[in-house]
Structure 1
Amino acid sequence: MHSTIAAPSSRALELARTLIRMNTVSANSNLALIHFIRDELAGLGVASRLTFNADKTKANLFATLGEGKPAGIILSGHTDTVPWDGQAWTADPLDPVVRDGKLFGRGSADMKSFIAMAVAHAERFLHSAPPFAIHFAFSYDEEVGCFGVRHLIADMRDAGIEPLACIIGEPTSMVPAIAHKGVYRYRCCVRGKEAHSSLTPQSVNAIEMAARVIGKLRDMAEGFERDEPRYEGFDVPYSTASVGQFHGGIADNVVPRDAEFRYEFRDLPTADARAMQAELVAHAQSLEPAMRRVAPEAGFRFETICEIPSFLGAPGDSVTRLAQRLAGETRTTQVAFGTEAGIFKNAGIATVVCGPGSIVQAHQPDEYVTLEQLGRCEAFMHGLAGTRELG
C-alpha cells in the first residue's frame, strides 16, 4: 500500500537531525530547541506564544499558521526525551546518523521527527489551501507526567483559541490511534515508631504497615484481572496496578520508623483510576487507628506523582477520518503507552494520535525511525496542507 512513498526531503531530515542534537532529556532545559523553532517561525512572520515552568528553564511553544482563519487543527508533540544512562548504544545518542534506511538518535522516534516534519512544512501551511488555521503545540515534561501541556492549553484558552481538533504525533507507525490507558502514579510515605527489635510491642513497623497497603494494591490488581470487563485491542485488556519502588529500614535490629513506596494504576478508558486511588487510601486510613494507639504521629501520607488521563476517541470522529485519509490507512489502533491525548480530549478538543516510528524503538538503545516512516509522515503533512475540510 505504501511502497511508493518517497524518502523524506533533505530539509525535513536535516531539521530532525538538528532537533535530535539538542539534549532535551526531561531533567534538562528545552529552551534551545524552543527558541530554535520560535526563530524558524519568526522568519516566516509567525509569532509564537511561550509558556514557562516555574523557574523559566523550560517552555511550551504554541503558534498559529493562518491568522484570521477559523481556529483549526493542532499538530502536537513533546520536546523532552528520556535519558540513555546505562544503555548500550553503538553510537552517540546526540549524533544522529542515517544508516540502513533508518535515522538513529535519542528522540528520533519519540518524537522529534514528527515535530521536525511539522516545522519543515510551516511555509506550505501558511500559503496553502486549508480554510482553517494550523496550530503547532510543542510541550515540555511529557515524559515525566505531561506537566507542560496543561499550561499550554490553559494559555490557549486564555487567548480565546478554540481549535477544532488535535493530531498528536507520537510513534504509531502512522496508523491513527484512538485509545490508550491512563497512567496514575503516586507515592505513599509511612510514618511509624522506631524501637529496638526486641521491643516490637512498643513500636509501629513502617515497613509492615506499608506491606499491608501493598497487599491491598495487589488484591485490587488481581481483581481487575479477574473481574473487569475486557477492552479488546489492548495488549493487556484490563486495568493494572503495580509497585515500582520501595524504600525503608536502617538496620536489621531496628524496627523501621519510615518507609516509602511508589506505585501506579494503568486504567482502561472505561475505568476510573481516581476511584482506585480512593479505595487504596481508604484501606490505609483504616489501619491508622491501631497505629496511633502506639504512636499518635503514625500514619500514611499520599502524594501524587503524575495523573495522565486515559484517552478514548472514536473511528467516526472527523479527526480520525482525516488522519486515516492523510496516512493512507483504513485501520485504527490502540496503544499501550500514555500520551497527552486525554488532556486535549478533556479540554474539549477532538484528538487522534498518529505519527512516524514505532514505540518498540522508543526509549531503547539505538532508537531509530525508518526513512519510510518519515516519508509517510511528510506525505501526511503535504496532504494536510491541501485539505479543504476536516474529516
Structure 2
Amino acid sequence: MRTQVGIIGAGPAGLLLSHLLHLEGIDSVVLELRDRDYVQRRVRAGVLEQPTVELLRAAGVGTRMDAQGLPHDGISLRFDGADHRIDFAALTGRRITVYGQQEVVKDLIARRLADGGDLRFGVSGVAVHDVGSTRPLISFTDADGSARALDCDAIAGCDGFHGITRDSVPAGALTVHQHTYPFAWLGVLAEAPPSHHELIYTYHPRGFALHSMRSPSVTRLYLQVPPDERIEDWSDRRIWDELHTRLAADGFTLAEGPILEKGVTGMRSFVVAPMRHGRLFLAGDAAHIVPPTGAKGMNLAIADVRRLSLALTALLRSGDERLADGYADACLGRVWRAQHFSWWMTSMLHTFPEHDPFQRELQLAQLRYTATSEPAATSLAENYVGLPYSD
C-alpha cells in the first residue's frame, strides 16, 4: 500500500488532519484500533473554543455543530454559596460551543467517507518503521486479518496518550515533562436536562464540582475525589447526594435522572518535546495531556493538526521543510499556555490534601478577585474561549 501521510488514530485529531490534507490534495490513510461504532460513541470532551468552531466551519464540517451545538457566552464560578458569572461575550466578544467530541468524530467520519477517504477501523499490531528516512513505513493487520505494509512520506501519531507512536521514538530523543495532581474526577453522564444554562465551576470545602452538559437532555457532572477512589464505592444515590451538597446555592435546583455512564479519571499534566522525530509527527494527546479543568484537550489537538496540515502540505507539495521544522516549537507555545491556564484553574478550584486554612483562604481570595476584577476576569475569559491561532 502507498499513501502520502499515514495517520494513526481516528479521534478528532487524526480525522481532521486527514480531512484538511484532503482539501489540499494530499492523500492519507487513517488507521484505528477500535471499531467505528466504539469511536463514534466514546464520550470525551465537549467544550469547543471559538477558534476550533471557526476552523470546523471553514473546513466544511460545521453544519451539524451549528444546528445542534449549544453556544455559551460565559461560565459561573460558584463559591461562598453564590454564582459569579464570567461574561465571555462582554469581556472578549467571543464564546464557546458545547458540542461533544463524539459528535465531532461522527461529522468527520461521515465527511471523509463521503469524500472517498480510506479509514480503517479495527486494525491491530500497528508499528512504525524507518521514521528517520523520507519513506517511513507502517505495518499492521487489517480488520480482516490481512497483514499490511503502508508506505508513506510522513506519519502522524494521533493515537492518544496510550498509543504506540510516542513509544516508537528512540529513547532519549524526547524530553518529558509531567505532573500528577493529588486528586481525580468522578464523572457521570446523566439523562437529565441541564440545571443551568451554562457551565458551573464550584469551589467547595468538600472538593471541586462541575456542572456541564452535552445536550438539552443530557447533563455531564464531575466531583473531585481521591486519586485511588473506586467507582464501585459510589452508588448513584451517593453521587447525587454529593452533587447536591457541593453545588448547593440559593435558587439553584439540581435536576436528577438516570446515570448513563460513570468513571474515575486521574488528573495529570504531560508534555513531550519536540513532538517530532524525523518523518514522525506527534499531535494531540500523543504529545500532551492537560487536566480537564480548562477544557483544552481536544482544542489543543485540533490546533496541532491545523498547523501540521500546513506543514505537511508545504513539505509534500513543494519540498519546503520550514513549517515542518518549526512545527514542534510553534505547537508547544500554545500547549504551555494551555498548561498554565489549566494548572491555574485547577489550583484555584480544587481542595488539596496538604492545604491548611491559610492556603484555603488564599484560594478564596483569588476567586473573589477573579470574579470582581475586570482585568482578572478578562484573562480567564480570553484563555477559556481560546486564543487566536498564530502562523
Q: TM-score, normalised by structure 1?
A: 0.27
Q: Whose relative contact order is higher, 1 or 2, with alpha carbons under 8 Å and at least 6 apart?
A: 1
**Rg: which structure is higher?**
1
More helix, by proportion: 2
Q: TM-score, normalised by structure 2?
A: 0.27
